[in-house]
Amino acid sequence: MKYYITTPIFYPNSSPHIGTAYTTIAADALARYHRMNGDDVFFLTGTDENAQKIVRTAESQHVAPKEYVDGVVEKFKALWKALDISYDDFIRTTEERHHQVVQAIFTRLYEQGDIYKSEYEGWYCTPCETFWTENKLVNGRCPNPDCGREVELLKEESYFFRLSKYQDKLLEHIQRHPEFIQPSSRRNEMIRFIEGGLEDLCVSRTTFQWGIQVPFNPRHVVYVWLDALINYISALGYPDGEKYQRYWPANVHLMGKDIVRFHAVIWPIVLLALDIPLPQVVYGHGWFLGKEGGKISKSRGNVQDSFELIRRYGSDAIRYFLLREMQVGQDGTYAEDNLVERINSDLANDFGNFISRSLAMIVKYRKGILPDPGVDTPLEAELKSLSTEVQSKVEERLAACDPAGALEQIWRFVARCNKYVDETAPWALAKKPEEEKRLDHVLNTFAQCIRIMTILSAPFMPGVPGKTAALLGKTEGDFLNWDSLKDWNGLEPGLRVVKGEPLFPRVDMSDWITQEELKEMQEEKMTSSAEPAEEAVPEFEPIKEEVTIDEFAKLDLRVAKVLKAEKVEKTDKLLKLEIEVAGETRTIVSGIALHYAPEELVGKHVVIVANLKPVKLRGILSQGMIVAASHGENLEVLSVDAKIPGGARVK
Ligand code: MSP
């Protein structure tokens, strides 16, 4: 089956941000899922470069529009790369291949009488690139609730497109194809809008030259929305291109709710006029709002640099967060502390921790060799049937363009896997020789679960298959076949597995954010939620692999007296300590500042690893490490009574 999915083409009048990235990430997840299913996928994105606002922005920066957009387009491409976006083509509306198609379509519509020349008198909102009639304005300003900016009075000779002629035909199509506009709230909105009566649309401008010329009247440039919508077929080489024959009509045009009107009214009418089949689904998702409630956008100044976020948290985690937060038919909230919370709970604690603890047990109890499966108990039977159920629900949610719903299902399986570890208690089985076969089966089941989790999550977090494959002795490609979810025993006994690094290490926002900002956020949270958040009970890390007494003896643990302590500048977590050990004074940098005020430590006799290779932290040479116990939020350094002097051995 072919699957053609598109994102809107983005205005390159400012750098991309997390809000605009959502559509592209969601489209990417759908494209990847369909590829894993063996479908013939074409995933298109690009940039909408012929807008008047581009000219304005370029002028304000004293560069030519083309030069300006070339620079921003590079940023878009770099961001998509950093977010692992697997588009098949990137169309720019300044490309010749696009111009030709737009001009041919404009001429044809004119020749068949659907476009006619007249005079436009009315208002134009440049940020929205939209025409408005006087009676639609709100207090004389743009009526778009998210804009509300000043509009300009235009009076110019223009070409018009007869939307009104196709109104009934369009309504009929919408009625007959309930799946055409989704979700249903947007569909109802659009039906009301069309029933209110469509006015003919002004489709050319004469007051500037940037854009695609009307071929038979070069004083005019084509209205940017008409030009932009055509990208969905110009990129395929309409009308004769092989790709056009192969992929059109689109299976899904994905976009934010603000531009559904253009895709569900103007675009289908262009297609009806050209006698081209309509796309199957126009899907309008909500917006990402900032904490203050407004849409995340460059003009509101509430966006964070996306590259910096990826550097901090990684592409998979950001993709997961954005996809999980946007519920069908609703807006999502973006805030960095919510992102961190999701990473720590869903990715580090649930997903990553299952993988590390279960692999650690295979390493510990079976020297890393995957044992044979055995006889199922009801526990394994339940896991298997849940896996089948989750798989089909994920398919159903993705068919409805609902990645959040799909992830919710996958996490039902992840939670069940974690519970399975506690229920089977392999550490207890390992003590009983008669349970050897049972332990084999449990450990084998762990690995099969990791495989299932990996395949299910691969469309959303494309970095995961490569990482788990390395742990399980497989290749990334082994985990990219959706159909293989049907085989439970996809991993053969005898595979050599390793524990590796945690897939999603816990993150601590204070690495990047000042203490004050953190406090502010926490206070906000306290006042905004009625019920205090339940204290999460942290899991214990699995006990590490055995070492011999000789290996242990290599560590030189000593008592050290803290002489001085101070905060390391520009960090919230680090303390610089001066300690005395065996008559020697040393400096140690320790990440305990959130738990101890410097003065609390002075005079204490703490325990340190004295023969640890020195490292530089924040430019300070740290000669050793303070030993501390930590559990959840709590941390305490190990200390001894003052009668044991600095330098005494701990063994
Ligand atoms: N150029 C037009 C689209 C033409 S398609 C033929 C355009 N571009 S845009 O750059 O302004 O927006 C592109 C997409 O980003 C839209 O789908 C819009 O809804 C989405 N988003 C912009 N800010 C957003 C959020 N804060 N949250 C979610 N999506 C957001 O419109």
Query: What is the C-alpha separation between 366 and 420, in angstroms, rounded?
Result: 19
Q: Which amino acid is at 410?
A: I
Backbone Cα Rg of the chain: 30
Ligand 1, atom 25, lies closest to the CA of 19
> Which residue among 10, 128, 130, 295 is best mutated to probe the pocket of ligand 1, counting the most ligand atoms within 8 A of its Cβ?
10
* Mean pLDDT for all residues in the chain: 92
**Atom in ligand 1 nearest the alpha carbon of residue 326:** 28
By CB neighbour count within 10 A (0-12 exposed, 13-18 middle, 19+ buried), where does 643 fall? exposed
> What are the extents of the domains in the chain?
335-486, 515-526+549-640
SS3 call for 351: helix
pTM: 0.80
CA proximity to 635, closest of 624, 648, 626, 646 = 626
Predicted pLDDT of residue 516: 62
**Atom in ligand 1 nearest the alpha carbon of residue 267:** 6
**Atom in ligand 1 nearest the alpha carbon of residue 296:** 26
CA proximity to 335, closest of 345, 325, 323 = 325
Distance 331 CA to ligand 1 centre (A): 14
Instruction: Tell me the CA distances in angstroms from 88 to 62, 99, 113, 486, one per residue in order.
Output: 34, 20, 36, 28
Residue 140, sorted as left (phi over 0), alpha (psi -120 to 50) or beta, turns out to be left
Predicted pLDDT of residue 545: 66
Predicted pLDDT of residue 538: 45
Task: Render pLDDT for 130-177 as a digit per residue (tens, 0 to 9).
Answer: 988 888 899 899 998 888 899 989 898 999 999 999 999 999 999 999
Nearest 10 degrees: Cα torsion 476, 481, 482, 484: -100
Task: Render pLDDT for 71-116 as a digit per residue (tens, 0 to 9).
Answer: 999 999 999 999 999 999 999 999 999 999 999 999 999 999 999 9
Residues 40, 3: contact at Cβ < 8 Å? yes
Distance 340 CA to ligand 1 centre (A): 25
Query: Is residue 244 over pLDDT 60?
Result: yes
Our CA angle for 156, 160, 163, nearest 5°, is: 145
Predicted pLDDT of residue 526: 52
> What number does CATH give the domain 515-526+549-640?
2.40.50.140
**Atom in ligand 1 nearest the alpha carbon of residue 258:** 19
Structure-block tokens of residue 440: 């084999």
Instruction: Tell me the CA distances in angstroms from 435 to 22, 315, 620, one per residue in order.
Output: 49, 42, 52
Ligand 1, atom 9, lies closest to the CA of 10
**Atom in ligand 1 nearest the alpha carbon of residue 332:** 27
Distance 10 CA to ligand 1 centre (A): 6
> What number does CATH give the domain 335-486?
1.10.730.10
Predicted pLDDT of residue 533: 35
Task: Render pLDDT for 247-296 as a digit per residue (tens, 0 to 9).
Answer: 999 999 999 999 999 999 999 999 999 999 999 999 999 999 988 777 77
Residue ranges lining ligand 1, Cβ < 6 Å: 8-11, 19-20, 22-23, 48, 228-229, 231, 255-256, 258-259, 287-288, 295-297
Distance 255 CA to ligand 1 centre (A): 7
Going by pLDDT thresholds of 50, 70 and 90, the confidence category of residue 539 is: low
Range 366-390 average pLDDT: 98
Structure-block tokens of residue 498: 């390793």
Going by pLDDT thresholds of 50, 70 and 90, the confidence category of residue 576 is: very high
CA proximity to 464, closest of 315, 618, 627, 265 = 315
